[in-house]
Amino acid sequence: MQRVPMTPNGYQKLQEELERLLKVERPKNIQAIAEARAHGDLSENAEYHAAKERQSFIEGKIQELQAKLALAHVIDPSKINQSNVAFGAKVKVLDLAADEEYVFTLVGPDEADVKNGKISISSPVGKALIGKGIGDTVQIKAPARLMEYEILEISFE
């Protein structure tokens, strides 16, 4: 199994979600199953079937989170050489064709959230930016067009 890079913040969020599932959602669902069971005939009991389905979903999510946490390689961005783009970097770029600025934070695949500017280091843009410095220009082939970004700023939070 390959280790997956993750920021300390991303690791903490996964741990919090796992705790919530184990300590809140799972017990609440077990109670719902018990209450539905008390209603009698299980073959036509919609509440019981819904609660059992929810139980299956919760258990699957718990296993998924445990696997992600087990494979996580937590990398603290503050301990990385900060002169070039690296994991955890916040990068401000200028799209040379559109003359628009964007800010991306490079994170692990499990933390990627494009709407919030968090892109995976294994994405085409992430791969192109890694290792580059301020003033460098990168080209990314996208289905629609060839994108060209100039790196304006690099910061680590």
Same CATH topology for 4-74 and 77-156: the answer is no
Strand order in the sheet with 89-95: 118-120, 100-107, 89-95, 146-156, 137-141
User: pLDDT tier at 88 (50, 70, 90 boundaries)?
Assistant: confident
pLDDT at 7 exceeding the cut of 90: no
146 forms beta bridges with 141
Read off the pTM. Answer: 0.70
Residue among 139, 130, 140, 135 at smallest CA distance from 151: 135
pLDDT at 110 exceeding the cut of 90: no
The class level of CATH for 77-156 reads alpha beta
Q: Residue 75: what pLDDT?
A: 83
Q: Percentage helix, strand, coil, to 5, in the chain?
A: 45, 25, 30
Q: Which amino acid is at 152?
A: L
Query: In whole angstroms, what is the distance from residue 146 CA to residue 108 CA?
Result: 24
Q: What CATH number should be reported for the domain whose range is 4-74?
A: 1.10.287.180
Query: In whole angstroms, what is the distance from residue 144 CA to residue 18 CA?
Result: 39
Q: Residue 3: what pLDDT?
A: 83
Classify the C-alpha dihedral 66-68-70-76 as positive or negative: negative
Each domain of the chain, given as residue ranges in start order, spans: 4-74, 77-156
pLDDT at 54 exceeding the cut of 90: yes
Q: Residue 1: what pLDDT?
A: 65
Q: Residue 81: what pLDDT?
A: 66
pLDDT at 122 exceeding the cut of 80: yes
Instruction: Find the mean pLDDT for residues 68-73.
Output: 90
